[in-house]
A and B are shown apart, each in its own frame.
Chain A
């Protein structure tokens, strides 16, 4: 078995672990770091359930080799939690808008929303749909997801 030491920053903490070179980033985040918000869905880069931020951009971690994480800064949904367990505005918006049904796709969608909101721009509804199009929700609650992201975007931009 070929292994490699991988040093990276995960959710603000510099960490190190030895991984099997055959592992995906999903494998590493779930098994080595117990970050179980990163879901195993389709495992072929289509559903977005395993989506995480790497150096500020969204990636499906299932089709990203764990060894490629060397030197990268990774954020998962767990990073959004406040110091006393508070939810972030985008998480609260998902609750308020009933944008969560079974919840399996939610962490991935929210991390894409974090990238979108981080751009600090006002997007049209059509643009938001395109930006969110890398996620499948089998409960098909898409309308409420777009609502939650749109409302949080407007709230942040209008102060």
Chain B
């Protein structure tokens, strides 16, 4: 039995918004794999919950008319991995969320929950940052969109205003067309573990596969929130595909990342990981894009 003061089951997005307005103290529960555990631990004990778990309209992946990839925030990790559109357009996201927890957790955990809890180590977050995801939020004043970078405010804090919930994660056509990426999760165990550092890289190569037209990189656990490494991205843009370019990329990330020492790992280890994972993920991305180093 969970210590829950009251549970309000939403029947539609509009209903969820009015429940959240009527119960300003209530927390949103999606899959529950974070919220229920925080209730058990006591941190959220006695809370009111607005459950959105039954809102099937927020599940699944589709393409908008303009080619934007629309990911329903309640889509479970395992369904993201299996989805044909994800595999075709942003396979790395499916691979990244396939490293969350274990199989049962991936069946209940949702990609929306993974971002809305504002945790830096979330396996989906670095890839969504690296692909310029846009968060679509619905609230009492209607629908608004904001870049994922602005969605994350601080550790555990996102830009959801009272009464608002995440209703889609969008990736515009210009953000995915021609890009291929790779995610590396560094953790102590192969399953049921949280990333010590996670690194997601993607590249767009020239037609002859000899030049890097664009490279994007984002980290989990390199700072209080998931973050891009703009210096590294700028450092390799337009450079030839080569080992020297890969080395320069790894060097440049140090200008951007700012990890801390925690009980999981020291700052020094995380700095080394930031360089090493950047280089490996870039090399692998180039390979996947058809380039030869």
A22 engages B103 (CB within 8 Å): no
CB distance from A65 to the nearest CB of B (A): 7
Q: Is there a chain A Cβ closer than 8 Å to B167's Cβ? A: no
- Complex Cα distance, B4 from A27, in Å, reads 15
B103 engages A68 (CB within 8 Å): no
- Complex Cα distance, B2 from A20, in Å, reads 10
Bitwise interface map of A from 9 to 47 toward B, beta carbon under 8 Å scored 1, else 0: 000000000001111100100000000000000011110
- Complex Cα distance, B36 from A43, in Å, reads 10
A134 engages B101 (CB within 8 Å): yes
Known: A58-B104, A64-B32, A68-B53. A130 touches B1 (CB 8 A): no
Q: Is there a chain A Cβ closer than 8 Å to B192's Cβ? A: yes
- Complex Cα distance, B37 from A27, in Å, reads 16
Between-chain CB contacts (< 8 Å), 29 pairs? A2-B7, A20-B1, A21-B4, A21-B6, A21-B7, A22-B1, A22-B2, A22-B3, A24-B2, A24-B36, A27-B1, A43-B40, A44-B40, A46-B192, A48-B104, A51-B104, A58-B103, A63-B108, A64-B32, A65-B29, A67-B51, A68-B51, A112-B104, A130-B190, A132-B103, A133-B191, A134-B101, A134-B102, A134-B192
**Inside 8 A of A46's CB, which chain B residues have their CB?**
192
- Complex Cα distance, B6 from A22, in Å, reads 8
Beyond contacts A60-B105, A112-B103, A130-B103: 17 other A-B pairs, Cβ-Cβ < 8 A, are A2-B6, A21-B6, A22-B4, A45-B37, A57-B78, A57-B107, A59-B104, A63-B32, A63-B33, A64-B108, A65-B32, A65-B36, A68-B53, A130-B191, A133-B192, A134-B101, A134-B191
Q: Is there a chain B Cβ closer than 8 Å to A131's Cβ? A: yes
Please name the residue on chain A nearest to B2 by beta carbon.
A22
B4 engages A133 (CB within 8 Å): no
- Complex Cα distance, B2 from A112, in Å, reads 25
Please name the residue on chain A nearest to B190 by beta carbon.
A133
Residues of B at the A interface (CB closer than 8 Å) are 1-4, 6-7, 9, 29, 32-33, 36-37, 40, 51, 53-54, 78, 101-105, 107-108, 190-192
**Inside 8 A of B78's CB, which chain A residues have their CB?**
57
Q: Which of B3, B37, B54 has the most chain A CB within a 10 Å cutoff?
A: B37
Number of cross-chain contacts by CB at 8 Å:
83
**Inside 8 A of A68's CB, which chain B residues have their CB?**
51, 53-54
**Inside 8 A of A133's CB, which chain B residues have their CB?**
102-103, 190-192
**Inside 8 A of A20's CB, which chain B residues have their CB?**
1
CB distance from B259 to the nearest CB of A (A): 26
**Inside 8 A of A131's CB, which chain B residues have their CB?**
103
- Complex Cα distance, B190 from A46, in Å, reads 14
A65 engages B190 (CB within 8 Å): no
CB distance from B253 to the nearest CB of A (A): 30
- Complex Cα distance, B51 from A157, in Å, reads 41
**Inside 8 A of A22's CB, which chain B residues have their CB?**
1-4, 7
Contact of B105 among A45, A65, A67, A130 (CB under 8 A): A45
